Copies of this chain bind each other. A is one copy, B any other.
């Protein structure tokens, strides 16, 4: 495995989307994780559906819409203030604990984030986790107005880093994203944090690890 550059997915890979469940739990006791799970599932669905319908709205709007759905689905009443407070948690997602050290170990290569999130959503996450220096680029699909796993998004990554796709490793915890990146032609590492099965989309990742630390220890 020859790796001259590494692309990292953000949500679920570097940053824990279920960080929001704590705040959900404050407003809606015993419902925090359930809200968070429906919220995340619908957020992804809406990115795929809007892309297929060619009706792009940015990830902030999609995240707001999917939160609204999650609250309705669970029959929870929430004021505009509560909804805003929950949504703003997306600007404070925590990096997984092993991330800073692992990125340092991997830093002898070009590294970039390639994410569905907007620049406005990604920058505070990177800053709060003190990862600003770790990345050559923070790349958002927002530039193309279409979401992963559309091939053009992965292509955008290679253009931004001026790298051949076969020289790059794409790292993600999302099986559908790994399948997209593999279809595009990247080398792919799937971060399987919770011992889940991979998706049945006709491709397999080149490498499977349980977190970024294991990846850092594995890459030559």
Residues of A within 8 A of B (CB): 42, 45-46, 48-55, 57, 65-66, 68-69, 72-73, 147, 149-151, 176, 179-180, 183, 196-197, 199-202
Contact = CB atoms under 8 A, between A and B. Distances in A.
Contact of A201 (B55, B196, B199): B55
Contact of A51 (B52, B65, B202): B52
Q: Is the interface of A mostly helix, strand, loop or mixed?
A: helix
B57 A48 contact: no
Nearest to A203: B55
Contacts of A51: 52
A183 B51 CA distance: 13
A150 B183 CA distance: 20
Given A49-B176, A179-B49, A202 B73 contact: no
A69 B200 contact: yes
B151 A45 contact: no
Contacts of A149: 49, 52-53
23 contacts: A42-B199, A42-B200, A45-B48, A45-B176, A46-B199, A46-B201, A48-B48, A48-B49, A49-B180, A49-B199, A52-B52, A52-B150, A52-B180, A53-B149, A53-B150, A53-B183, A55-B201, A57-B202, A65-B200, A65-B201, A69-B197, A69-B200, A73-B197
A65 to B, nearest CB: 4
Contacts of A52: 48, 51-52, 147, 149-150, 180
Contacts of A147: 52
B200 A68 contact: yes
A69 to B, nearest CB: 5
A147 to B, nearest CB: 8
A185 to B, nearest CB: 12
Contacts of A199: 42, 46, 49, 69
Given A48-B49, A49-B176, A52-B180, 9 more contacts: A42-B200, A45-B48, A46-B199, A49-B199, A50-B201, A53-B183, A55-B201, A65-B200, A65-B202
